[in-house]
Structure 1
Amino acid sequence: MLERLAGNMALKSELGAALGAGRLPHAILLVGEPGCGAGFAARCLAADYLYPQGGPHAEAVLKKEDTECLVLQGEGASGQIAVKRVREMREAIQRSALSTDAAGRVLFIYGAQNLNGSSANAMLKIIEEPPEGVLFVLTATSAATVLPTIRSRCAAYTIAPVPTDECAALLTREGLPARLAQELAFLYEGHIGTALQAFRNDTFKAALGLAKELCSYAAQNDTYRTLVLVTKYERDRESFLALLWQLDQLCSAVLRRPAYGAEQCGGLTPDRAARILQVSAATRKAVTGNGNLRLAVAVFAAEAAR
């Protein structure tokens, strides 16, 4: 299944060789920016480990449906992986018998940077004394954000975005119209997962559309319509941050290709895009620092369209 992972030829070759020779480390850390496909890569590796011959069970792993795969990930508003959940997984691994259909069992730890001190210590006990046949596959947005005690026990690999042309071709095969595939591949710089979200996820798609609208208002110095658009976020911190993130992607795209501002962002120029990026960064700092959200929204509108 690793061959289904786009790009990353060296990584696929190294992991494939280790699998074939039976030398795969028992703990793998896959590092990649959000949208790069680290989670998909983790499932591809797990499928090849559990079911070397492929088949329906291997496909089920990719669909997150296989019973030999256990999952740990952040929960609640904090997004932290609780020590209680780690202990539950440890018991599940130690007490349950392995299936005769699979070569072992896999424990996914999605977002390993969300392990806190207590949960990391509990996880360390499992990784240092792994039950027979268990593969630990961790993902993280950055190796530096994973606690050293966990990171040092893993073989780390980096998942990279794919070239824009390759990303566009893959998106087309997923059903996106060619022109849209090319735009999203460029906008999100080869992050296939992010581009697919922009096509399939209505909330994500809506945020992108509003960010484009905001760019257009800013290009026209239209403070009033900018304020009207963002006022709806005065009580929705997370959605406002999502809008700012989309805005950052658009402004970055305009800086890389000035014509994109005329094509997709209502005439936004590189100079104004650079200014909006500065305003967005300052606003994000205020919002994430528990500043007054209503005030932050109003100031953003005034500064972005000035």
Structure 2
Amino acid sequence: MLERLAGNAALKSELGAALRAGRLPHAILLVGEPGCGAGFAARCLAADYLYPQGGAHAEAVLNGTDTECVSLRGSGKSGGIPVDDVRAMREKIQHSALSTDAAGRVMFIYGAQNLNGTQGSAANALLKILEEPPADVLFLLTAPSAATVLPTIRSRCAAYTVAPVPADECCALLGSRGVPAPMAQELSFLYEGHIGKALQVFADADTRALLASAKKLLEHTARQDTYRALALLNGYEKNREGFAALLWQLEQLCSAVLRRPAYGADACGGLQPDAAARALQAIYSAKKDLTANGNLKLILAVLAADLCKTEPQ
């Protein structure tokens, strides 16, 4: 199943060799930016660990429905993993019976950086089972960066990086998933090989609409049209989460213009690299203010003004 992971040849080779030799670490941290496929890589590895011969059960692991796997994820606005959830999963993995056709059991911790809250109690609860793991249990953690995971957890894991794939390989994979060629080419370039992000745009109408709004806002930026920029941004006056997602898309678009100036003309209403660079500064400032829980209406107004300035900021 690991072969289904795009790119990452060295990662697949190393983990595959360890699995075949029976020396796979009992706890593995897969690090990768959102959209790189760290979660998918974890499920592929789990499928190969539990069902080396493949089959329906292995496919169920990839789909997240196999009974030999338990999962922890963040919840709520903070995304934190509650300590009670960790304790419940710990009890389940320690006391559940093993199926006769599985080689072991797997515990997924998606977003291990979210164990940091609640004064470390969730991390401490997990640490107990990591230090004294039940037999044949594989712990698979994911995080956007190893540095975001508490040292006590990180030190008990073997860390591996899941990297974006080259743009041409990403484009080919998107094409195999039914993405039209022009769209596949654009998304592969725009998201720099982050397949998950590209597939989300293709599959989710809301994400496509968000990307279109970001492009329209940069078109207003290119024309220095503060009025229309503010009118668009005012649609996020009661939607902090949506505005944060818009800022992320704006950041990707401006970066793309800097990497390929012609992209500004093709996709962003004629945005030039110098304007894209200034826009990035405005975006970073807005992200900082948003994180600090600033007044959203004021943040939107300042961003519209800063985006449409002609002089360097």
Paired residue secondary structure (1:74): coil
What is the rounded CA distance, in whole Å, between the counterparts of 2:267 and 2:223 in structure 1? 14
Describe the superposition over 1:236-272 as per-residue Cα deviations: whole angstroms up to 9, x where unpaired.
1110111111001000000000000011111000000
User: Residue in 1 aligned with 2:211?
Assistant: 208
Instruction: Say which is worse superposed, 90-99 or 161-170, in terms of deviation.
Output: 90-99
User: Residue in 1 aligned with 2:257?
Assistant: 254
What is the rounded CA distance, in whole Å, between the counterparts of 1:165 and 1:8 in structure 2? 14
What is the rounded CA distance, in whole Å, between the counterparts of 1:292 and 1:179 in structure 2? 40
Describe the superposition over 1:50-91 as per-residue Cα deviations: whole angstroms up to 9, x where unpaired.
000000110111111111110001111111111100000011
Residues 16-165 of structure 1 mapped to structure 2, 5 A cutoff: 16-116=16-116, 117-165=120-168
Paired residue secondary structure (2:142): strand
What is the rounded CA distance, in whole Å, between the counterparts of 1:112 and 1:177 in structure 2? 35
User: Residue in 1 aligned with 2:275?
Assistant: 272
2:199 corresponds, among 196, 199, 202, to 196
Paired residue secondary structure (2:248): helix
What is the rounded CA distance, in whole Å, between the counterparts of 1:265 and 1:77 in structure 2? 32
User: Residue in 2 aligned with 1:3?
Assistant: 3
Deviation of the 1:202 alpha carbon: 1.7
User: Residue in 2 aligned with 1:239?
Assistant: 242
Describe the superposition over 1:91-115 as per-residue Cα deviations: whole angstroms up to 9, x where unpaired.
1012211111211110000000111
Deviation of the 1:133 alpha carbon: 1.1
What is the rounded CA distance, in whole Å, between the counterparts of 1:290 and 1:215 in structure 2? 24
Amino acid at match of 2:143: A
Paired residue secondary structure (1:30): strand
Deviation of the 1:233 alpha carbon: 0.7
Describe the superposition over 1:113-155 as per-residue Cα deviations: whole angstroms up to 9, x where unpaired.
1112111111010111111111000001000110111101101
What is the TM-score when the length of structure 1 is the normalising length? 0.99
Amino acid at match of 2:13: S
What is the rounded CA distance, in whole Å, between the counterparts of 1:160 and 1:287 in structure 2? 29
In angstroms, what is the RMSD of aligned CA positions? 0.7
What is the TM-score when the length of structure 2 is the normalising length? 0.97
Deviation of the 1:287 alpha carbon: 1.2
**Segments ≥4 residues shifted beyond 2 Å:** none
The alignment-based identity, stated in percent, is 72
Residues 159-198 of structure 1 mapped to structure 2, 5 A cutoff: 159-198=162-201
What is the rounded CA distance, in whole Å, between the counterparts of 1:95 and 1:27 in structure 2? 19
Residues 215-234 of structure 1 mapped to structure 2, 5 A cutoff: 215-234=218-237
Paired residue secondary structure (1:291): coil
Amino acid at match of 2:264: G
**Residue 303 of structure 2 corresponds to residue 295 of structure 1:** no
What is the rounded CA distance, in whole Å, between the counterparts of 2:87 and 2:237 in structure 1? 40
The unaligned stretches of length 5 or more in structure 2 are none
What is the rounded CA distance, in whole Å, between the counterparts of 1:87 and 1:214 in structure 2? 46
Paired residue secondary structure (1:12): helix
What is the rounded CA distance, in whole Å, between the counterparts of 2:95 and 2:248 in structure 1? 44
The unaligned stretches of length 5 or more in structure 1 are none
Amino acid at match of 1:174: R
What is the rounded CA distance, in whole Å, between the counterparts of 1:14 and 1:95 in structure 2? 31
What is the rounded CA distance, in whole Å, between the counterparts of 1:77 and 1:193 in structure 2? 22
Length, aligned pairs only: 306
Deviation of the 1:305 alpha carbon: 1.6
